Amino acid sequence: MSAQLEARPGVPTSGRPDVAPRRPLITALTGLRAVAAVWVVLFHYRSDVLALAPSLRPLAPIMDAGYLGVDVFFALSGFVLAYNYAESMGHWDARATRGFLRNRLARVWPVHVVTLNLDLLQAALIGTLGVTAGGHRRTVSAYVENLTLTHAWWNDRPSFNAPAWSISAEWAAYLAAPVLFVALARLRRRAAVALLATGLYAVMLTIFALWALPNGNVPHAGMLRLATEFGAGLLMWRVYRSRPRWLGRLTLPLAAAVTLVVLLVPAARHGYWLAPALGLLVLCLALDAGPLARVLSSRPFVFWGEVSYSLYMTHVLLAPSLHALLPVHLYDQSGWPQRTLVLATYAGLLGLAAVAMHRIVEVPARRLLRTRRRAGAPEAAAP
């Protein structure tokens, strides 16, 4: 779950109601997508990383909190969609709504369907079709739900390519977004908007705290996370419009504070207590021109930010193959050169798979979308 801003400054809108005006590119947010995606990857591969590189154990708390990368994506998605579409869709227009939903589906569905079928093929080969002991679903009904992007709406158990649950949640947000854009246009006062965004996070954390005392960790509440964080992202765009530049100066201190809290406070990495700070970081970074924004705007970060959706959707899918090719338990007692080589091979193959998916599936699908519309609207990438 991610967001990308594709736009060229100074290009006027076409005047058509189903085409959003182009917006200037906020490259730091593209770089943030790379960080969020790698954070999620580290979460899923943390046992492998620590077995092969025990010197990284002091960073284990950062890896343990990597699931929060999805929460970054949800807030980022709301912000970016509002940035690109809220002004042009501030009044209800059926044609604009159809165009928006068509564009969003074309953006997320091709990679999802390819990874869905790759997971199906892999499961058939290794014998994990059906429902596993842990509740992972690879059934006919789950396959149909995945095709329609509804698999996370009413079933809290993973199905097929597990990270795709967030794409299902995002699709629900996309369906609601045109109505939310109209509502957002009615909100004028910055203080009220900020209070609403804070209230959404407060509602989420209160429900978590009451549902799973004492630490608020609810493993399968993805739709709640999506609804509150996506909504907060929309509202933060409204704050962004008034250009409170002082928030940009908070980016580096806020990022440092989040890192220290994750490292030093165990409860912070076993719940969603840091989600509001991560959402605020999106807003601050969008307003920032400081050192952190410059780093995230650099070519490597922007490149991997553009590839982040494919990385997110392929990294879990590759785990069985990587573990079969280079079983970690055969190398975790080896010397550091061998362990480093194995870890580098893991990282390299994950990166190659992501780039291949991006260039073979994701980019061609985007180009196909562009050829089918008369004028291009900016796109916000999926998580």
What are 159's strand-pairing partners? 137
More confident residue, 21 or 336: 336
The one-letter amino acid at 202: A
Residue 381 pLDDT exceeds 50: no
What integer is the mean pLDDT of 44-61? Answer: 94
What is the distance of C-alpha 272 from the center of its chain? 15
What is the structure's pLDDT at 6? Answer: 40
Measured CA to CA in angstroms, residue 317 lies from 73, 284, 308, 354 at distances of 20, 34, 15, 11
Q: What are phi and psi of 160, to 5 degrees?
A: 50, -130
The pLDDT value given to residue 270: 75
Torsions phi, psi for 130 (to 5 deg): 95, -155
- Residue-level pLDDT at 371: 61
Per-residue pLDDT at 140 exceeds 60? yes
Give the containing element (helix H, strand E) for 302.
helix 299-314
Q: Is the pLDDT of residue 106 over 70?
A: yes
20-24 average pLDDT score: 65
Amino acid at 3: A
The SS3 of residue 213 is coil
Give tens-digit pLDDT for 209-219.
777 654 444 55
Cβ distance 116 to 160 under 8 Å? yes
Matching residue, tokens 């790698």: 38
pLDDT digits over 2-11, tens only? Answer: 444 443 223 2
Domain boundaries, the chain: 27-372
* Residue whose entry in the numeric block shows the structure tokens 């201190």: 253
CA distances from residue 121 to 136, 138, 165 in whole angstroms, order as listed: 16, 11, 19
Residue 185's pLDDT is what? 86
166-170, 184-188, 277-281, 342-346: least confidently modelled range? 184-188
Cα–Cα nearest to 177, from 80, 78, 105, 93? 78
- pLDDT, residue 372, reads 60
Least confident of 53-62, 258-267, 365-374: 365-374
Query: What is the model's pLDDT at position 305?
Result: 95
Report, as an integer, the average pLDDT of 165-179. 94
| H-helix or E-strand spanning residue 137 | strand 137-138
- If pLDDT is split at 50, 70 and 90, which confidence band does 220 have? low
What is the rounded radius of gyration, in angstroms, for the C-alpha atoms of the chain? 20
Answer whether 163's CB lies under 8 Å from 316's CB. yes
d(CA 273, CA 275): 6
- Mean pLDDT check: name the lowest of 292-296, 304-308, 328-332, 339-343: 328-332
Band of residue 373 on the pLDDT scale cut at 50, 70, 90:
low
Q: What letter does residue 89 receive in the DSSP assignment?
A: T
What is the average pLDDT score of the chain?
86
DSSP 8-state code for residue 245: G
Q: What is the pLDDT of residue 35?
A: 97
b/e per residue 7-17 (b: at least 16 CB within 10 A): beeeeeebeee
Q: At what angle do helices 363-372 and 94-126 cross, to 10 degrees?
A: 150
Confidence (pTM): 0.88
